[in-house]
Structure 1
Amino acid sequence: MELSGSTAIVTGGCSGLGHATAIALREAGLNVALFDMNDEVGSTRVNELGAEHTLFCQVDVRDEKQVQSAIDEVKARFGDIHLCVNCAGIAPAKRLLDKEGNAAPLDAFQNTIDINLVGSFNVARLVAQAMASQPTQGEANERGLIINTASVAGYEGQIGQTAYAASKGGIIGLTLPMARDLAPLGIRVNTIAPGIMGTPMLLAMPDKVQDALVSNVQFPKRLGLPEEFGKLVKHMMDNAYLNGETIRLDGALRMPPK
């Protein structure tokens, strides 16, 4: 699928991996729509990335009406949608039982599942609906590509990560059946499962905390770079035979219990 001149939606596009992805896609010549809750930062990102080819939509990924309205706005502004990258998510940490033996609150677990898993599914299904009516392009007769973001925690959840690991494991589980559902329409689905990435939030942690995280990375012995996530997004778009796959981006990291 051609990168330059195509249009992408990036959820959580104003910070972290979403922001890095938006930068990579704009540099490759795509129109980019940022779906995010942070209206103030959204305006800044539009100016940074270029207002002519960037759109910000204030969106709660769990809200069907908000997502559909934003998709309609993207189509009205840029036309067909060729790529959707779901990066919106939260990463809370809470043990199943606290030190006093009290059970973790159910609403905290549900909120994580709703944002990370249900939100990704909600955006993906509505974007797929929009893509399905578009003309095909290229030798592979593609209509679009959906990339969801999981985590190595979806395979090796650590202590305190029951909600986060469950949400990311769910995204991994969605990948193949979603790809099979959409294959007859020429829409591919892939997932990226990043390890410990050098996002601003993680880089703000003390050096000793960062060093402890890096100690389990095999090679290269460092945090992952957000731009490496963006590079993988671009490769997935460029490589039409990559479908129904979850790719770990983690320097051969396998997470310990804590």
Structure 2
Amino acid sequence: MIIEGRTFIISGGASGLGLATAHLLTAKGGYVSILDLSKTDQDALFTSFPSISKSSSRVKFFPCDVTFSDSISTAIAGTVGWINQTHASLAGIIACAGISWPAKIIDRDGNPMDMPTAKKVIEVNVFGTLDFIRLALPHLITVPPHGPDGERGVVIMVASSAAFDGQPGQVSYAASKGAIRSATLPMARDLARYGVRVVSIAPSLFDTNMTKGMGGKARESLVRVMEWPRRAGRGEEFAHLVEAVMENTMMNGECIRLDGAVRMPSKM
């Protein structure tokens, strides 16, 4: 799939893995619609793009809360209106919005996990992802097919290494990311008839806003169990895998680990 001159919608695109992906796609000549919460500092967001101004025709921001269908619909409608102006057809739906609130199913004092917190993690990471994708897809499956295979585009979701080997305190988070992993193949099968591929990426410890609040001891323990390289992943490394997925048509229906060969132990 060609990136240049095509449009990509990224939920959670104002920071972390989503923003790194937006940077790469614009550098490759793509157009990026960034969906994120209304509290986003848009001036800082646009400043992060080299040689891209707030008035640029290749980056747009639309406020969006993925826990509300109406908010997603409004942001996507804005994106479609922008596409009608640029004539840069839609080519990718990238779901990066996500949260993590660590909590054991029952704590050391015998208190059960707080369900509203667990539900919020599932709501954002699972339902927010599926809602965003389902509402954007009608605009992707109708674009003209490209290339010898008649490809229309790609859906990329963010799972996690926790989907494979979640640690203590990751019950709700691992469940949410496991759902994304499990949804990848059936979604790819659903969309095959339209020439739309589906891939999920499962990062381990990456430098993002989500991991900034992690204590130094916890962070060091995670780095210590990595095989190589022994460090947190960088956003651009995630973005390069997104690029590889987009450009390799045979990548479909799979959840790809991006984790420095780490396999999370039950105890640190």
Q: Give the letter aligned to residue 11 of structure 1.
A: S
Give the aligned partner of residue 62 of structure 1.
Answer: 67
Report the 3-state secondary structure (helix = DSSP H, G, I; strand = E; otherwise coil) of the residue aligned with 2:156: strand
Distance 1:82 1:168 in 2: 24
Q: Once the 2 structures are TM-superposed, how far is the Cα of residue 47 of structure 1 from its aligned partner?
A: 4.2
Name the structure 1 match of 2:232. Answer: 223
SS at match of 1:140: coil
Any stretches of 5+ residues in structure 1 without a counterpart? none
- Give the match for residue 2 of structure 2: 2
In structure 1, distance between residues paired with 2:186 and 2:40: 37
Give the counterpart of 2:211 among 171, 196, 202. 202
- Which has the larger displacement, 146-155 or 14-23? 14-23
CA contact (8 A) 1:35 1:58 kept: yes
Q: How far is the alpha carbon of 1:183 from its aligned partner?
A: 0.4
Percent of matched pairs sharing the same residue: 38
What is the alpha-carbon distance in structure 2 between the residues aligned to residue 208 and residue 95 of structure 1?
A: 19
User: Does 65-74 or 186-195 show the bigger shift?
Assistant: 65-74
Alignment correspondent of 1:130: 139
- Which of 156, 160, 165 in structure 1 is aligned with 2:169? 160
1:127 positional shift: 1.5
- For residue 254 of structure 2, the aligned residue among 240, 245, 250 is 245
Asked if 1:150 is matched to 2:155, the reply is no
Assess if the C-alpha contact under 8 Å between 1:95 and 1:161 holds in 2: yes
The answer on whether the counterparts of 1:7 and 1:32 sit within 8 Å (CA) in structure 2 is yes
- Asked whether the 8 Å contact 1:148–1:191 carries over to 2, the reply is yes
> Residue deviations 1:202-253, cap 9 Å, x none?
3565654433211111112222111100000011111111110110000111
Deviations 1:113-154 (A, max 9, x none): 010011111111111111111111112211111100000001
Choose 230-239 or 57-66, whichever is displaced more: 57-66
The aligned amino acid for 2:94 is: V
Q: Is the 2:37–2:63 contact (alpha carbons within 8 Å) kept by the matching residues of 1? A: yes
Q: Equivalents in 1 of 2:205, 2:40: separation in Å? A: 27
Aligned counterparts of 1:131 and 1:147: Cα–Cα separation in 2: 13
Q: Does 1:23 align with 2:23?
A: yes
Separation in structure 2 between the aligned mates of residue 204 and residue 171 of structure 1, nearest angstrom: 24
Structure 1 length-normalised TM: 0.95
Aligned to 1:90: 99
Residue matched to 1:233? 242
**C-alpha separation in 2, matches of 1:110 and 1:78:** 35
Post-superposition CA distance 1:45-80 (Å, at most 9, x none): 134332321111111112112112211111111243
CA-CA distance at 1:157 after TM superposition: 0.9
Task: Give the alignment of 1:93-112 within 5 angstroms.
Answer: 93-112=102-121
Report the RMSD for the aligned CA atoms in angstroms.
1.6
Q: Distance in 2 between matches of 1:64 and 1:183?
A: 25
* Counterparts of 2:194 and 2:68, CA distance in 1: 25
State the 1:83 CA deviation: 0.7
* Contact 1:128–1:187 (CA under 8 A) maintained in structure 2: no
